[in-house]
Amino acid sequence: MKNICVIGTGYVGLVTGVCFADLGHIITCVDIDPKKLELLQSGKSPIYEPGLEELLERNIRAERISFTDSYTVGLDNADFVFITVGTPMGDDGAADLRYVRAAARSIGESLSKPIVVIDKSTVPVGTGDLVTEIIKEHVRDDIPFAVVSNPEFLREGSAMRDFFNPDRIVLGSSRYEAAEQVAALHETLGATIMITDLRTAEMIKYASNAFLATRISFVNEIAQICEKLGADVKEVARGMGTDKRIGPHFLDAGIGYGGSCFPKDVLALHHMAATSGCHPQLLQAVMDINKDARYRFVTKVEALLGDLSDKVIGVLGLAFKPNTDDMREAPSVDIIAHLQEQGAHVKAYDPVAIERASELMPTVTFCATAYDAAKEADALLIVTEWNEFKQLDWGRLREFMRTPVVVDGRNLYEQQDMAKHGFVYWGVGRGVPPMRLEELGQPEYVQALASDQT
């Protein structure tokens, strides 16, 4: 059992603290937000993550986790301190390190015993050295410490599973013995542990996220070509994925990536490369394709409905992915903004993200169910692939809608099935042109479209 301090209680910090507590360690989480602290101390999670609140309550009852706004309290008797504060995008695309700098300074000012400082936040290459210098500048009495980079690979919506079943643990430090101490914290997880230098560990996180984002943008470019040439991108991706050199993951065509990691990390890596004298052409293309995917999605709605002025558009899904309420860089934000710029009235539903979304989009009408979002709608857009959207009663939805048009940004459905329900349906990269609005009400067209897909 170790005493661990966690600085920051966002997605990474709270999951890290709660999960280490569940492994039997004593955790003190430090955060400066009084409202968040009050919520956490009552056993309530400020974020939506499946299973997190139950684990939080259990470890509070077991007195293995506590919360404070005091660095002195958090670091008292701590063997390790994790820095898990946010590193948002700066105006120039670089990661904003103000919170990391502040945490490093406060750690230095509050240290009373030797400790291992662990950078868990996603930080630019060289930040470990920066944290070392800041702590050295402010630490009293030459108290010894070491800095270890331990980048997180937690996916929102499955963060608990990822913590307890990691693909690998990456550690970087100029002091090998410190990295070994952090490795010992993770031994019970049974994962491969890789120890390297600080800068290499920091780069592994950026390179990993940039590669996954590249796969998404690649398949979205293939999807655009498939639509023009009459191929089906889902089958193309399935054929590619069976190749062991490629694999099936992150090959789902759609409206692009979002969230707190991929957009920020690709842009930050691009900035690091450019300011180092490199020419990051591929990274620029990845970002451009991702942006275009959202724009093309709206143009499909315009192609089907024409002028969007005073049209009612229902949007299903707001969070950037299912099983989270995170709205950071969510495709829904750009898509809804484009629709409203064209004069459309937007009604939206999401199982958990409405509260956060309402802060970003106050002019949207938020609904209690998917069926409410469909009422009197001229089109229904699938933006986030929540499981409940796979079980919708399309007959009921057809009755509610003014015009039976579905534009599917996640390819949840099949053209044939939607045609049988009488819908104009357009997915992403499926290679079959949508039924035209002027042909609505002509059952023979629907039957022909359905038969074409058999």
As annotated, the active-site residues are: 261
The Cα 329–Cα 259 span in angstroms is 5
CA dist 416 → 206, 304, 424, 432, 445 (Å): 41, 18, 11, 10, 12
Q: Is 452 exposed, middle or buried (0-12, 13-18, 19+ CB in 10 A)?
A: exposed
**Greatest alpha-carbon span in the chain:** 85
Cβ contact 424:450 at 8 Å? no
Cα–Cα–Cα angle for 242, 243, 247, nearest 5°? 75
Please return the burial class of 167, using the count of CB atoms within 10 Å of its CB with bins 0-12, 13-18 and 19+.
exposed
DSSP 159-178: HHHHHHS-SEEEEE-S-HHH
Q: How far apart are CA 357 and CA 244, in angstroms?
A: 39
Residue 190 contacts by C-beta under 8 Å, 6 or more apart in sequence?
A: none
CA pair distance 435, 2, nearest whole angstrom: 63
Token output for 268: 């930050």
Query: How many residues are given for the chain?
Result: 454
- Cα gap 134→104, rounded to integer Å: 6
Q: Report the alpha-carbon distance of residue 99 to residue 113 in Å, rounded.
A: 23
Closest CA to 123 of 18, 10, 204, 181: 204
**Token pair recorded at residue 132:** 């070392």
The Cα-based distances of 46 to 9, 100, 341 in angstroms read 9, 21, 32
Alpha carbon distance 321, 383 (integer Å)? 9
Q: Which amino acid is at 164?
A: F
